[in-house]
Chain A
């Protein structure tokens, strides 16, 4: 998988003598660095500032209130419910993506008639924007009266259930899984195609059965791409927003209010900027902990 990746370490010596003395690269880098600095650091500092203020858009001006927002944040049970919901959502979707993503990638990696079309079909849901994914499931499939699943259940002699009231979090997990299983499939399929076929052929010659080849050659090869899928999906899913916005609006009650959604409600529904910012800082810290792991994995690849 790394064959194509020319690496920093490998090319550094000739390149350094080649260029850095004659060419000043700063003007080429500066535009990108400046806009990204403005985009990432300035708002972050503002969020940090707001988080120490009592700032209600309805009753300005903002006044400092020490760490009160944080005290409320951590003593408010709805914070912990939101964190629990975020964790359930991330783990639920991750489990589905890894299990089904791996399975589908392994199936699609075989030679069979129409392989490339089947690949396209299996990966297509990843390209469907979240609001559309949410509506397909909410209306066309899961609706208790006119949805397809309800009809299937009736056929099977069961009562159709109102998915979004009976099992709201499960429904949200199903929708996100449908979008993110194809992401896992796409990444793992790409990784599988870089698997050394000679090695598999040798194992086959040595009489290794299909399952043994899978267990000892294919799965170990997939371990790293799987860990990358886990990290990328966790980061995306912690910020999951549009499906919840389109289907449950965080409800019923707080059943599908994740940390991201809670901050959104605090900010743009309740206009309490201070407490929303405190929760925002908390979300940023959580995301950064995850990011450290991802950056380590990527950086290892850069040096490999």
Chain B
């Protein structure tokens, strides 16, 4: 007794309607990005028009856009590489040498994620000011790295747990030390897991707005800060802002769709797989 054909068609159509409604705002932004400023605010809204790249050119040649884009790349990639470098040995130790304190360590790391950023805004801001790191990429790399570190440890841990312990055990019996095990066994074995962990960290860092808005200005701001900050003066230039936004979200939309299933593990600390 399979569900009737009629039912399946109805549910299929409903699913597509729901998907299109959710996606519509993004689609409309993309459409607007290919309009001129005049077309962007025309009422009734233009559906058929001659697409132009003017807004993309204007947006990218605008004051500092490229610098902010570069900052986004450096901060998200930099913070992710450092986070993985620190988390990899930690997750290895937690996954393959569990002891009495393993669970506590994992839980404590998770609990640091629960700290509301705004609660430590003042000390971080004043501290960065004192050591002259306000509005620097270094500061933002460090902040994003620390924000993502617990998630990265957790996600790597959960991937490592799926690797049969016997493989490492055999290596140990052959006298291969932890360092070689990590480099020559774990790294290749957990490649896809590391890749999805890295993607999640890059996505979270790229989209991070709170710290970027609050501890950067014109030098180290990322695209999230750029778009939030310039929305006021540029508020009237919808097409240009849409073009800038499309460029800002496009890489993440692509990364996100590549790994959506595996992301769940990191996003829920392994509670849902």
A interface residue numbers (CB < 8 A to B): 1-2, 4-6, 8, 11-12, 14-16, 18-20, 22-23, 25, 27-29, 31-33, 35-36, 39-40, 42-44, 46-47, 50, 103-104, 107-108, 110-115, 118-141, 145-146, 148, 150-151, 178, 181-183, 186-187, 190-191, 194, 204-205, 207, 210, 224-225, 228, 232, 235, 238-239, 241-242, 245-246, 260, 263-264, 267-268, 273, 276-277, 280-281, 283-284, 287-288, 290-291, 294-295, 297-299, 301-302
B25 in contact with A178 (CB, 8 Å): yes
Nearest A residue (CB) for B23: A121
* B253 with A273: CB separation less than 8 A: no
> With A186-B263, A273-B126, A298-B269 as given contacts, are A130 and B16 in contact (CB-CB < 8 Å)?
no
In the complex, which residue of chain B has the Cβ closest to the Cβ of A204?
B1
Chain B residues with CB under 8 Å of chain A are 1, 3, 7-8, 11-12, 14-16, 18-20, 22-23, 25-26, 28-29, 32, 40-45, 86-87, 89-90, 92-94, 96-99, 102-103, 105-107, 109-127, 146, 149-150, 153, 158, 161-162, 165, 169, 172, 178, 203, 206-207, 209-210, 213-214, 223-225, 227-228, 231, 235, 238, 241-242, 245, 248-249, 252-253, 255-257, 260-261, 263-264, 267-273
Q: Given A148-B28, A190-B272, verify A28-B92 contact (CB < 8 Å).
A: yes
A188 nearest CB neighbor, chain B only: B272
A32-B22 contact, Cβ under 8 Å, with A18-B165, A107-B11: no
With known contacts A40-B112, A239-B116, A15–B97 Cβ distance under 8 A: yes
CA distance A187 to B19 in the complex (A): 16
B contact residues around A132 at 8 Å (CB): 29, 227, 245, 248-249
* A19 and B116 contact, CB distance less than 8 A: no
Which A-B residue pairs are the 8 nearest by beta carbons?
Answer: A112-B12, A291-B114, A46-B123, A28-B89, A242-B209, A25-B93, A43-B120, A127-B256
A140→B178 contact, CB < 8 A: no
The reply to whether B107 and A8 form a contact with Cβ atoms under 8 Å apart is no
C-alpha spacing A58/B44, complex, angstroms:
50
A260 smallest CB distance to B (angstroms): 5
Compute how far the CA of A138 lies from the CA of B273 in the bound complex, rounded to whole angstroms.
35
Excluding A6-B162, A18-B172, 18 further A-B contacts by CB distance (< 8 Å) are A5-B270, A8-B102, A29-B89, A29-B93, A40-B112, A43-B120, A123-B256, A132-B29, A136-B245, A140-B29, A141-B28, A187-B272, A235-B114, A241-B213, A260-B118, A263-B119, A267-B122, A291-B114
Which of A112, A151, A181, A187 has its CB near the most chain B CB atoms (within 10 A)?
Answer: A112
Chain B interface mostly helix, strand, loop or mixed?
helix
CA distance A112 to B121 in the complex (A): 48
Q: Which of A108, A150, A295 contacts B15 (CB 8 A)?
A: A108
A255 CB to nearest B CB, Å: 19
Residues of B within 8 A of A281 (CB): 119
Contact of A15 among B43, B126, B165, B231 (CB under 8 A): B165
Q: Is the CB of A141 within 8 A of B224?
A: no
User: Closest A-chain residue to B87, C-beta based?
Assistant: A32
Nearest chain A residue, comparing its CB with the CB of B244 = A132
Assembly CA distance A138 to B235 (angstroms): 10
Please, which residue of chain A has its CB at the minimum distance from the CB of B207? A129
A28-B90, A235-B114, A283-B118 as given contacts; A128 in contact with B253, CB under 8 Å: yes
Checking B89, B146, B228 against A131 with a beta-carbon cut-off of 8 angstroms, the contacting residue is: B228
B269 CB contacts on chain A under 8 angstroms: 298
Q: How many angstroms between the C-alpha atoms of A35 and B145 in the bound complex? A: 10
B15 & A140 in contact (Cβ 8 Å cutoff): no
CA distance A64 to B114 in the complex (A): 29
| Shortest distance between the CB of B77 and any CB in chain A (Å) | 16
* B121 in contact with A118 (CB, 8 Å): no
Inside 8 A of A19's CB, which chain B residues have their CB? 96-97, 172
